[in-house]
Amino acid sequence: MAPQTRRISSFPEVVIERDTESEESSSEEEEANVVLPEEETIQDSNNKGKTPITITLKKVCKVCKKTGHEAGFRGATYIDCPMKPCFLCKMPGHTTVTCPHRVATEYGIVPAPRKNTTNSLEFVFQRQLQPRVPPIKPAHVIPDQVHCAVIRYHSRRVTCLEFHPTNNNILLSGDKKGQLGIWDFGKVHEKTVYGNIHSCMLNNMKFNPTNDGSIYAASSDGTISCTDVETGISLALMNLNPNGWEGPSSWRMLYGLDVNSDKNVVLVADNFGYLYMADIRSNNIMSKPTLIHKKGTKVVGLNCNPLQPDLLLSCGNDHFARIWDIRRLEAGSSLYNLEHKRVVSSAYFSPISGSKILTTSLDNRIRVWDSIFGNLDYPSREIVHSHDFNRYLTAFRAEWDAKDSSESLVVIGRYISENYDGAALHPIDFVNVSTGQLVAEVMDPKITTISPVNKLHPREDILASGSSRSLFIWRPKKLDVAQPREEKRILLCGEVSKKRSKKHGDNGDDDSDNDIFRSKDNALKQKKLPSKSSSYSSRKNS
């Protein structure tokens, strides 16, 4: 015993890396080495024969494996690896923390034709010339009254959302497992889950324009379903894998889906680049599939023009969004090809006039084409925005606000987190795509997960979000009519408690115990947070 402990000091240390006079110097955190003493285990009587080892390690960055710095969370703030290009805008020479796009989101606006995204040196020098970026990013808006309803009934992550076309309180949700959820968020606890419609990922869905009681869905199981929302009775409109599983090279998955209301045709696209059409009334597949994207690549989005439904917008993994006239459809017959630097995860015509185009790409840019009648060679604007995570999460998609007559308001979830009073939160951003300005950020201190799936209500000031397996409905408690609608369309956020209480629904409950409709009582909220959050958890646990 005693000899052993004494031996520790005299025993030669096994040192990894260098630096032997570590003893006292290790207290300084800045650049000092991290010392991992093994003394406790060594002194343990069980390990009599073991030689005492002191391992001295230098800080090693987990990203670049170099020493002298460390990437990762420090508290709620993520420190980037300085050896890598900016995680947000992808340009070298700075990190996310100092990225000009993070300081002022409008900075991301690049008018076409692009200038300063092509040359990184020029980019860096431009920062020197323009060192004082005006701090126009709005402060977090914390209204005194908010609503946020939460429900969790999906067993896998949410992949898509759709509001009911006539019933204002119904939200439909699809998940990675293929389940279709129907939530009457007006009654909060009212929900239905249909689990046997699809066998895997439900990628996109759209209501039948001629019958708002039924919805079409495209799934990775290779089928289009048409489901009666009331009864859950579903029929398959198309099955691309009639012979079942014959290996990954032949298994076809359906991703993009839209309905041409003029022709009563459902359009879907698969993971091999092909477009299919099915007649709604006869349930027949029309014609043969057409290759609309690079062969073998996934077509993730389809969108029919609201005014001219024969105009089709598609996007996919071949880095293009493409415009088609479905009356003259054949491989290579696209009217325009909108080039992107990486995968295009969504592309939409503007909801009212149909003359703008909005795309989301994994190069961390939202792109806008102001007029389909103008020059489509370059986007009118590129807005830098963090949404490039492609693993484990549903792809982010910027979605129009159909209520905005100027067709400039867009919602999109944010991947990168913000240190918000000690909590790393992932806001949902409202962006004015005409100016690039970040109009609003929605977040709640108790929602610590990322919300990649977002949809704005077609008629009301309601935002629906899908975050992991949970669904959220956000709405302002009251609209300030005196304010111009463009200025503050949406009121947001919850209050922040420094002591982070539990996340929503992470205690394994499902359904009603998890449903939270909060801030009904403003007094409760304004007064003291602890009582509020405790009432929160007590409700959960009861």
Partner DNA sequence: ATTCAATGGACCC
Partner DNA sequence: TGGGTCCCCTTGAA
Q: How far is the CB of 301 from DNA (least distance, A)?
A: 12
DSSP state string for 110-147? -PSSP-TTS-HHHHHHHHHHS------SPPPP--S-EE
Please report how many Cα atoms fall inside a 13 Å half-sphere around the Cα of residue 127, on the Cβ side: 17
Q: How far is the CB of 124 from DNA (least distance, A)?
A: 16
**Closer by beta carbon to DNA, 73 or else 125:** 73
The first and second tokens of residue 90, run together, are 């992808």
Q: How far is the CB of 450 from DNA (least distance, A)?
A: 4
Q: Between residue 448 and residue 467, which ones bind DNA under the rule CB under 7 A? A: 448-450, 467
Q: Does 117 bind DNA (CB under 7 A)?
A: no
Q: How far is the CB of 178 from DNA (least distance, A)?
A: 12
Q: How far is the CB of 334 from DNA (least distance, A)?
A: 19
| 12-20, 283-291, 329-337, 389-397 -> range binding DNA (CB under 7 A) | 389-397
Q: How far is the CB of 50 from DNA (least distance, A)?
A: 21
Cβ atoms of residues 492 and 441 within 8 Å: yes
The first and second tokens of residue 343, run together, are 């995968």
**Closer by beta carbon to DNA, 343 or else 372:** 343
Distances (CA, A) of 91 to 341, 370, 446: 14, 26, 33
Q: How far is the CB of 302 from DNA (least distance, A)?
A: 16
User: Residues 26-65: x/- map of binding to DNA (CB under 7 A)?
Assistant: -------------------------------------x--
Q: How far apart are CA 2 and CA 473, in angstroms?
A: 65
- b vs e for 143-161, b when ≥16 Cβ sit within 10 Å of the residue's Cβ? beebbbbbbbbbebbbbbb
Among 33, 56, 78, 384, indicate the residue that binds DNA (CB under 7 A).
78
Q: E-strand spans in 247-398?
A: 254-260, 265-270, 274-279, 285-291, 299-304, 311-316, 320-325, 336-339, 344-349, 357-361, 365-369, 381-384
Q: How far is the CB of 9 from DNA (least distance, A)?
A: 27
Q: Does 93 bind DNA (CB under 7 A)?
A: no
Among 81, 259, 428, 440, indicate the residue that binds DNA (CB under 7 A).
81
Cβ atoms of residues 179 and 232 within 8 Å: no
Q: Between residue 500 and residue 539, which ones bind DNA under the rule CB under 7 A? A: 503, 506, 508
Q: How far is the CB of 421 from DNA (least distance, A)?
A: 15
Q: Does 85 bind DNA (CB under 7 A)?
A: yes
The first and second tokens of residue 282, run together, are 């006869």
Q: Between residue 128 and residue 157, which ones bind DNA under the rule CB under 7 A? A: none
| 83-91, 123-131, 206-214, 352-360 -> range binding DNA (CB under 7 A) | 83-91
Residue 367's nearest CA partner among 353, 352, 351, 387 is 387
Residue 312's nearest CA partner among 340, 331, 335 is 335
**Closer by beta carbon to DNA, 222 or else 354:** 222
Cβ atoms of residues 479 and 461 within 8 Å: yes
Q: How far apart are CA 54 and CA 57, in angstroms?
A: 10
Q: Between residue 249 and residue 288, which ones bind DNA under the rule CB under 7 A? A: 249
Q: Does 219 bind DNA (CB under 7 A)?
A: no
**Closer by beta carbon to DNA, 264 or else 337:** 337
The first and second tokens of residue 426, run together, are 């992932």
Dihedral of alpha carbons 207, 208, 214, 215, sign = negative
Q: How many CB atoms lie within 10 A of CB 242?
A: 8
Among 298, 356, 367, 381, indicate the residue that binds DNA (CB under 7 A).
298
**Closer by beta carbon to DNA, 214 or else 468:** 468
**Closer by beta carbon to DNA, 191 or else 298:** 298
- b vs e for 456-480, b when ≥16 Cβ sit within 10 Å of the residue's Cβ? bbeeebbbbbbbbbbbbbbbbeeee
| 78-86, 326-334, 471-479, 520-528 -> range binding DNA (CB under 7 A) | 78-86
Among 94, 319, 367, 475, indicate the residue that binds DNA (CB under 7 A).
319
Q: How far apart are CA 379 and CA 369, in angstroms?
A: 5
Q: How far is the CB of 316 from DNA (least distance, A)?
A: 9
The first and second tokens of residue 211, run together, are 């019958």
Residues linked to residue 211 through DSSP beta bridges, in sequence order = 208
Among 109, 172, 215, 362, indicate the residue that binds DNA (CB under 7 A).
362
Q: How far is the CB of 45 from DNA (least distance, A)?
A: 24
Q: Does 387 bind DNA (CB under 7 A)?
A: no
Q: How far apart are CA 260 and CA 307, in angstroms?
A: 11
Which one-letter DSSP state was computed for residue 191?
A: E
Q: How far is the CB of 308 from DNA (least distance, A)?
A: 29
Q: How far is the CB of 241 from DNA (least distance, A)?
A: 17
Q: Does 13 bind DNA (CB under 7 A)?
A: no
Distances (CA, A) of 355 to 37, 372, 529: 66, 5, 47
Among 243, 391, 482, 484, indicate the residue that binds DNA (CB under 7 A).
391
**Closer by beta carbon to DNA, 378 or else 389:** 389
| 80-88, 261-269, 325-333, 531-539 -> range binding DNA (CB under 7 A) | 80-88
Residue 191's nearest CA partner among 233, 151, 149 is 151
Binding site for DNA (CB under 7 A): 63, 71, 73, 78, 80-81, 84-87, 95-96, 249, 295-296, 298, 317, 319, 342-343, 362, 389-393, 415-417, 424, 426, 448-450, 467-470, 503, 506, 508
